[in-house]
Amino acid sequence: MKPERHRIQYGERTIDFSVVRRDRTTLEIAVEPDTSVMVAAPLDATIEVIKAKVHKRAAWIRRQQNFFIQYMPRTPERRFVAGETHLYLGRQYRLKLVAHTQERVTLIRGFITVQTHRPGRPNVTRDLVEAWYREKAHLKFRERIEANLQRFSNPEAFRPEGLIVRHLRQRWGSMSPSHRLLLNHRLIEAPVGAIDYVITHELCHIAEPHHGAKFFALMDRAMPDWPKRKGRLERLMA
pLDDT tens digit string along 67-125? 877 655 555 566 777 778 889 998 989 989 988 888 899 998 889 999 888 877 888 88
Does the predicted TM-score (pTM) go above 0.85? no
Residue 41 has pLDDT above 60, yes or no: yes
Average pLDDT score over residue span 38-62: 93
CA distance 20 to 206: 21
Nearest one of 72, 67, 59, 77 to 15, comparing CA atoms:
59
Neighbours of 134 (CB within 10 A): 15
CA distance 73 to 170: 6
pLDDT at 237: 75
Structural domains in the chain, sorted by start: 4-71 (no CATH), 85-237 (3.30.2010.10)
pLDDT at 68: 75
Task: Give CA torsion, residues 162, 167, 173, 176, to 10 deg.
Answer: -50
175 or 34, higher pLDDT: 175
End-to-end Cα separation, the chain, in angstroms: 39
**CB under 8 Å, gap of 24 or more: what pairs does 209-213 form?**
209/30, 209/175, 209/177, 210/28, 210/30, 211/30, 211/31, 211/64, 211/67
pLDDT tens digit string along 200-232? 999 999 999 888 889 999 999 999 999 899 888
Nearest one of 152, 218, 145, 219 to 183, comparing CA atoms:
145
Three-state SS string across the chain, please? CCCEEEEEEECCEEEEEEEEEECCCCCEEEECCCCCEEEEEECCCCHHHHHHHHHHCHHHHHHHHHHHHHHCCCCCCCCCCCCCEEEECCEEEEEEEEECCCCEEEEECCEEEEEECCCCCHHHHHHHHHHHHHHHHHHHHHHHHHHHHCCCCCHHHHCCCEEEEECCCCCCEEECCCCEEEEEHHHHHCCHHHHHHHHHHHHHHHHCCCCCHHHHHHHHHHCCCHHHHHHHHHHHHC
CA distance 17 to 192: 35
Average pLDDT score over residue span 180-189: 93
Phi (first) and psi of residue 133, to 5 degrees? -60, -45
pLDDT class for 46, splitting at 50, 70, 90?
very high
Residues 37, 215, 70: CA angle, nearest 5 degrees: 55
pLDDT at 76: 53
pLDDT class for 19, splitting at 50, 70, 90?
very high
- Looking at every residue in the chain, the average pLDDT score rounds to 88
pLDDT at 117: 83
